[in-house]
Structure 1
Amino acid sequence: MTTHATPATPDETLSQRRATAAAMKRDGSSLRAIGAALGVSKDTVKRDLLDHAAAVARQATEPPAPAHETPAPPVASRITAVADTALPQTLTMPTHPGHTVPIVADEEFLADLAVIVAAGRTPADAIGHAVHVLATIYRGAWAADAYPDGVEPEITGHQLAPYQG
């Protein structure tokens, strides 16, 4: 049976535990190993990883602090909200100076983004990677004449390389 610690300051300790779990997962630890190290179940670790990733994704949608408080991050790594805080909201992701791409962010989008962020990517990098993967599939389908150019291919499966940990 796994023992569960009672934190002295729940919010701070929970946040720290989630950050530690995310760091251990990025380093290749299994859910069971993380749970054993933190004194929680593997199911709690799974929830902590998803909650931590969601928090990181939510932070990416917050408007940047005023310039006099902290310097703004580089344009390519910043996603800023341009609508009110109610979901769905439209985000913009700068692509190059003077150009942005609007992205509609609802609960499903943020949950999906949190999953990719949990693997160690920044929100902007996660979006770029997802677009690249999908574009590669489209280009391959069109190049193989499986679909006419410009027609969205129907993706019915996927293949993963074995984990090389």
Structure 2
Amino acid sequence: MQHEAHTAHEHHQHQQSDAGGWATAVRATLHCLTGCAIGEVLGMVIGTALGWGNVPTLILAIVLAFFFGYALTLRGVLKAGVDLRTALKVALAADTLSIAVMELVDNGVIVLWPGAMDAGLTDALFWWVLAIALGVAFVLTTPVNKWMIGRGKGHAVVHQYH
């Protein structure tokens, strides 16, 4: 029993010591990436499949990325017993900058990559560039999340409800 209490105490201390560290930032960015990737991929697939132009496809992908990003955070905060209004405020505070940076980088890579916006769903280029863009977005968004968490912002706000 004493060993279990000691291990739990060490785990708690480790969580506190990394509260604004890289491991926390990576976890927060992975959480953000999950929602963004779901929305981004879905938006790109829908827009491409329907033969939409570049701008409507990008807008749909961005809107869906924000929707799914916020939805994942809302799910967790609501599960903790928080009312919807407070949960919405928490999700907006936790995710807005992270999603915005991720979407700016992700879509910037896609737009700037030669031929990517013209690639169809059956083209390997479509999928490779989308994967690379999400990877670059993850790498460049992680320091943003670290900075925010270190100042008690971003995903640090969500951790109050876990």
If the length of structure 1 is used for normalisation, what is the TM-score? Answer: 0.30
Whichever of the two has the greater Rg, that structure is 1
Q: Which has the higher contact order (CA 8 A, sep 6+)?
A: 2
Relative to its length, the structure with more strand (as a share) is: 1
